[in-house]
């Protein structure tokens, strides 16, 4: 495993070994990644993908880790976290690296008097991760703004992706099937007034503080919204609000959030399983995880 890491280091690409994944997830959970790679340019991303493919090592690509649970045994092979963090405006379009944080882009758009990204101002993730899962909040989704993207296949081949090719749907995109790694994304924004945009962002921030348990590690909403229902309401209806398994807890403030209260990934997974089982037995509705689960058990 040191072999591919050393090859990447020789190319000047940032690499670390046995990297604790709890440092790279908002849940603050997870074992170590064998090799952890953070390309800082499109050229480094292309080189890294080509070398990793040639090595035959398993590749896992992540964003900021705000919608990610890594099991206690960690991740074998190579974990790649692109750090492409530059952005620019071309008219009403925002062209940004996949590693840009959503709150940074929301602030920049507001300062330019461009509306459309206010809904994303409180999502603690990267643009790449948001496109991968078609992240959304308060009636907005990143797929609504998407125009095109530059990405690389696992072979390191540069491709351009259209909105049609992305096939966005609720918490899904074509990237989940193709495995392509985003480099930069073009978003179509709308002219507006900075004061009004910032007022909307402030209003949404208040809603988040009032309704969401922001004082404990979480991955946001743990389960997807079932058809004609809401996961939080179902969990609450089943009497699960505040339920503990080990060091993991169903939030007392918002039952749709499962929290890490000094537990392990196994605690969190066991709590998820308990919630899913109880809700199905009492309502006949199967909850589906919104959180991406990676790695292996300890």
- In whole angstroms, give the CA distance from residue 95 to residue 93: 6
Spans of all domains in the chain: 2-80, 87-196, 213-294
Cα angle 36, 44, 154 (rounded to 5 degrees) comes to: 75
Residue 56: other Cβ atoms inside 10 A: 8
pLDDT over 80 (residue 282): yes
Tokens linked to 108? 């920049």
pLDDT over 70 (residue 1): no
- In whole angstroms, give the CA distance from residue 130 to residue 97: 12
- In whole angstroms, give the CA distance from residue 89 to residue 105: 11
Torsion of CA 8, 9, 12, 16, to 10 degrees: 100
Task: Give the CATH fold of the 213-294 domain.
Answer: 3.90.78
pTM: 0.94
66-116 pLDDT, tens per residue?
999 999 999 999 999 999 999 999 999 999 999 999 999 999 999 999 999
5-55 pLDDT, tens per residue?
999 999 999 999 999 999 999 999 999 999 999 999 999 999 999 999 999
Active-site amino acid positions? 171, 221, 290
250-267 pLDDT, tens per residue?
999 999 999 999 999 999
Task: Say which CATH architecture domain 87-196 belongs to.
Answer: 2-Layer Sandwich (3.30)
Altogether, the residues listed in the chain come to a count of: 298
Asked if residue 54 lies in contact with residue 42, where contact means CB atoms within 8 angstroms, the answer is no
Asked if residue 187 lies in contact with residue 116, where contact means CB atoms within 8 angstroms, the answer is yes
Cα angle 267, 76, 3 (rounded to 5 degrees) comes to: 155
Domain 2-80 has CATH 3.30.43.10: yes
- In whole angstroms, give the CA distance from residue 12 to residue 257: 40
């Amino acid at each position: 495993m040191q072999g591919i890491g050393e090859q990447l280091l020789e190319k000047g690409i940032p690499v670390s070994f046995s990297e604790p994944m709890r440092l790279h997830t908002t849940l603050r959970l997870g074992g170590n990644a064998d090799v952890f790679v953070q390309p800082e340019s499109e050229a480094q991303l292309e080189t890294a993908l080509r070398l990793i493919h040639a090595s035959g090592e398993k590749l896992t690509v992540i964003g900021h880790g705000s919608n990610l649970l890594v099991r206690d045994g960690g991740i074998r092979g190579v974990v790649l976290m692109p750090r492409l963090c530059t952005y620019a405006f071309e008219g009403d379009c925002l062209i940004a690296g996949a590693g840009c944080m959503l709150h940074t882009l929301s602030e920049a758009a507001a300062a330019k008097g461009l509306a459309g990204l206010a809904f994303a101002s409180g999502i603690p993730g990267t643009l790449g991760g948001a496109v991968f899962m078609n992240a959304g909040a308060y009636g907005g989704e990143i797929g609504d703004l998407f125009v095109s993207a530059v990405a690389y296949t696992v072979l390191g081949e540069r491709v351009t992706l259209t909105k049609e090719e992305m096939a966005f749907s609720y918490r899904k995109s074509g990237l989940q099937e193709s495995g392509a790694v985003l480099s930069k994304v073009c978003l179509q924004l709308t002219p507006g007034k900075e004061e009004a945009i910032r007022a909307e962002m402030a209003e949404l921030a208040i809603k988040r503080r009032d309704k969401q348990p922001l004082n404990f590690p979480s991955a946001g909403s743990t389960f997807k919204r079932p058809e004609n229902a809401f996961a939080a309401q179902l969990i609450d209806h089943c009497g699960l609000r505040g339920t503990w398994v080990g060091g993991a807890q169903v939030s007392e403030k918002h039952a749709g959030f499962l929290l890490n209260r000094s537990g392990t990934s196994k605690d969190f997974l066991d709590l998820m399983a308990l919630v899913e089982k109880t809700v199905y037995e009492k309502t006949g509705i199967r909850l589906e995880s919104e959180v991406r689960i990676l790695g292996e058990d300890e």
